Amino acid sequence: MRLLIQLVNHASVKVDERITGSIDKGFLVFVGVCDADTKEIADKMLKKLVNLRIFKDENDKTNLSLNDVGGSLLLVSQFTLYADARKGNRPSFVGAGAPDHANALYEYMISEARNTYSIKTETGEFGADMKVSLENDGPFTIMLDSDEILK
């Protein structure tokens, strides 16, 4: 599983000119799933995500988590996080999870963020052509890859 996390002042997602999700201060998170991913991996990645201390404290140090600042999540599915562009100029996406599997884990993460962590969680729309708008704070962007984090 790969999570591309952007610290944002605000972000939103549109599908067919309809806003499907919008947040103020928080994380815009692009979620990539591969076939080897499980609910257990999703749980560990979500725990890591919500506990990341990348918001600034009163001393201007990145020391506060999403809950510490009352931040929100905007989760957007993005299979292209598994793009492989090592050969040629056209990326391959064979590493991305099958749509049914990826959507199930994406929906699971949304549910867990809302129910287990009580975080306001907005979403994109799985498999849709989405338009994402954001104001990155910093900019501050982090990539979490379960293959590296969960060893």
User: Letter for the amino acid at 16?
Assistant: D
The one catalytic residue in 6, 79, 121, 123 is: 79
Catalytic residue list contains 78: yes
Spatial distance between the Cα atoms of 103 and 113, rounded to a whole number of angstroms:
15
Spatial distance between the Cα atoms of 109 and 115, rounded to a whole number of angstroms:
10
**Is the Cβ–Cβ distance between 8 and 136 less than 8 Å?**
yes
**Is the Cβ–Cβ distance between 27 and 7 less than 8 Å?**
yes
Catalytic residue list contains 79: yes
The one catalytic residue in 27, 30, 55, 78 is: 78
Q: How is residue 21 written in tokens?
A: 């999700």
Q: Are strands 72-77 and 62-64 parallel, antiparallel or unpaired?
A: unpaired
Catalytic residue list contains 6: no
**Which residues, at least 6 apart from 82, have a Cβ–Cβ distance to it below 8 Å?**
2, 32, 34, 93, 95, 96, 97
The one catalytic residue in 38, 80, 116, 141 is: 80
Supply the residues annotated as catalytic: 78-80
